[in-house]
Chains A and B, each alone.
Chain A
Amino acid sequence: MKEHTFLNIINPVKDKMYRLALRLLTSKEAAEDATQEVILKLWSRKEKIKDYANVEAFAMTVTKNYCLDQLKLKQNNQLRIVHQNYESHNISLQKEVELNDEMTWLGKIVEKLPEQQRMIFQLRDVEQYDYEEIAEIMEMNQTAIRVALSRARKSIRENLIKKHNYGIR
């Protein structure tokens, strides 16, 4: 496989890989490194890539596994990923400062979810994959994914309402 063809395959997926890595690792630098590493890994395995029916799902699975490995390493080292990237710039949808603050809260709430729910929330609500693809990426069955997604959505909303009321009172 030529470099050009490989990049054509990777380019549409790389943002999604980056966002999944960011969701798991929280730090932008760590997520960028992870994405780069995964792309290199895929490149070194470029001959086998043709055999996969869904390259995008495969790339996402590799990203997921790589990030989980990174997290394990970090836990072993008793390190916490340091990050200061909550500024969430360029919101084109809403320009209100208040909403910007809410986004920060939401980011924190999502960050507190268990890893699995966080990943499924990311894949479904942010990247809008269908259940079949999520099942392939997560290496889980669809029912389990629906359950985890439902839990993630409910707990995000509950936490948000809690925060919201807390702010008003």
Chain B
Amino acid sequence: MELDKIERLLAKYDEGETTLAEESLLRDYFLREDVPAHLTAYKLIFAFSAEQRNQSFRNEPQIKESRKNNRFAWTSIAAILIVALGILFFNDSSQRLNENDLGTISDEELALQKTKETLNMVSQIMNEGTADLVYLKEFNNTTNKIIQID
């Protein structure tokens, strides 16, 4: 190929105006033939881009991983279901216990006695509580003394 045609193409190449066909003409020219000294830079660039094309992805693409992820997602959903069902079940049964067993007594005598007992117990506890309040009277006495001083 004539040199001036090549140079014309190179000028276009530098401006990014060449078509792919023209570029492959240039590539063939520079990879095959000896070029004049002022064009060695181009020769190197074309050799470089041709050489870069040889690199390839060595590993086999692996797409199994996504499936493994799916399997994990499945088990986590199952686990959540089990826990949720468990909680629901326990809540249900404890409520039923409360509703059914309120400790009701059907015999009237016994009921009266039991009520008395409980009322007694309550009043006893009340008394115990008020017994502690005796000390408060002392407080009143002392304030009375202060008032008398005045």
Which residues of A come within 8 Å of B, CB atoms? Answer: 3, 6-7, 10-11, 14-15, 17-19, 22-23, 32, 35-36, 39-40, 43-44, 88, 90-94, 99, 102-103, 106-107, 110, 122, 125-128, 130, 145-147, 149-150, 153-154, 156-157, 160-161, 164
Contacts and interface: CB of A to CB of B under 8 A. Distances in A.
Contacts of A43: 63, 66
B45 A156 contact: yes
B99 interface: no
Contact of A36 (B45, B49, B61): B61
Interface residues of B, number: 32
B53 A127 contact: yes
Interface in B48-78: 48-59, 61-63, 65-66
Q: Is the interface of B mostly helix, strand, loop or mixed?
A: helix
Interface of B: 13-17, 20, 23-24, 31, 40-42, 44-45, 47-59, 61-63, 65-66
A125 B47 CA distance: 11
Given A18-B57, A102-B44, A130-B20, A91 B63 contact: no
Given A3-B63, A164-B40, A106 B45 contact: yes
A19 B16 CA distance: 22
A126 B57 CA distance: 15
